[in-house]
Chain A
Amino acid sequence: MLIYLQALDSPEDRTRFEALYTAYRGLMFHVARRILNNDQDAEDAVHTAFLSLAEHSLPPELGPRARCLAATVAERKAIDLYRARQRHPVSELEEDVPGCEGPPSDGTLAGAMAALPPRHREVLLLKYYNGYSAAEIAGFLGLTPENIRQITAQAKRRLAAELAERGEVI
């Protein structure tokens, strides 16, 4: 607890955190609830997500990037909790975790990115949309920077394969 309290020691960080909390906690609950299907578990996931957010640099203002960050971290914490509570954890990419399906791909690169399995989508969005480094993403998602680099490479290969299969020329 001392660590994350220290992380919010700066008034600027506290203001950012409070703004994020006020604006997106409902959204984060919704994201977690549709995966976990239980209010208490969803609140646990949201709380864990805010602990992660409190430890890292947050977007300077509310908007799509902050919303993306909040939803992504809440989704990750909910999936982690979901997996922890399964007797037989699902595959690494959690493609069969209910409630976290992305919008269907339309064959474009953007569409294919949005439709990736959660782990791939989360990493790509935090890296290429939010602009976080591998170390920062690792902190948000509870992984190591090396994990993030591996997942990024896997996601790129997957996107390339998917678009090639659809006949897209890049």
Chain B
Amino acid sequence: MRITDEMLCQAAPEAAERYLSALPDRAACAHAFSPAFEERMRPLLPRRKGRKLWKRALLLAAVVALLGTAVHAGQPEDYRVQASARDGVLTYSARPQEDVVPQRFHRITMGWVPEGYSLWTESEPEEDAVHFSTSYRTEDYQYIALRQWMGQEYSEILMGDYQWEEASVQGSKGIFIHTAENDSYCYILLWAEGPYVLHLTAHGGLDRETFFKIADNLQW
């Protein structure tokens, strides 16, 4: 009796299904990771700060909810979106103001994407989420990604071949960056809308007008 690669390839999906079905579902795996863990993971993830601010905001939201008081929508000036370039290094950020009003988190999705793009990844729903991301791609891996978060600072540094300018997205001030490397290029748009910071990126395949059309057609 001999087990061949072909036999294992055929049996593997069912074996994986059996293994995975023995694991609990997402709801049963909820865990509040320690600050030490979050700190160690930070270098691997997009830069975000303001955890303490968010904790205070969450506490305030809980108090407001207990009192049965309505929480009004955040104002566009909840964040300060800015960029500066020095010695070839671009720093751009969205910093929450002290008076950011906590909100129940609502996902913002792309209401329109160009032809040829299909949904690639999307964050799974979490009850206490303050972050959401979604991306679309073409068959040849050109892609668009939207990240959205609330109550946290975002700060990024960029070097190399880039151009940037201030931009307006549905009346909100934002930063538009165009980077190029070898034959590929990337568009980045960072702006704030009410209680949310939004970060839209596109890699290859789009012109500027189409890129802004995606930003202008987000679905709330």
Contacts and interface: CB of A to CB of B under 8 A. Distances in A.
Q: Do the two chains bind? A: yes
Interface of B: 1-3, 5, 7-9, 11-24, 26, 28-31, 33-34, 36-37, 40-41, 43-46, 120-124, 126, 131, 133, 135, 141, 143, 145, 186, 201, 203
Given A60-B120, A109-B7, A17 B33 contact: no
A5 to B, nearest CB: 6
- Judged by DSSP, the binding face of A is helix
Contacts, number: 156
19 contacts: A15-B121, A15-B135, A17-B44, A21-B45, A22-B123, A26-B31, A27-B23, A29-B29, A30-B24, A47-B41, A108-B11, A109-B3, A109-B7, A125-B16, A129-B13, A160-B2, A160-B3, A163-B1, A164-B1
Contacts of B13: 110, 129
Contacts of B36: 43
Contacts of B43: 1, 5
Nearest to A156: B3
A113 to B, nearest CB: 4
A27 B44 contact: no
A77 to B, nearest CB: 14
Contacts of B40: 47
A140 to B, nearest CB: 15
B29 A114 contact: no
Interface of A: 1, 4-5, 8, 11-12, 14-19, 21-23, 25-27, 29-31, 33, 39-40, 43, 46-47, 50-51, 54, 60-62, 64-65, 67-68, 71, 102-103, 108-111, 113-114, 121, 124-125, 127-129, 156-157, 159-160, 163-164, 170
B180 to A, nearest CB: 13
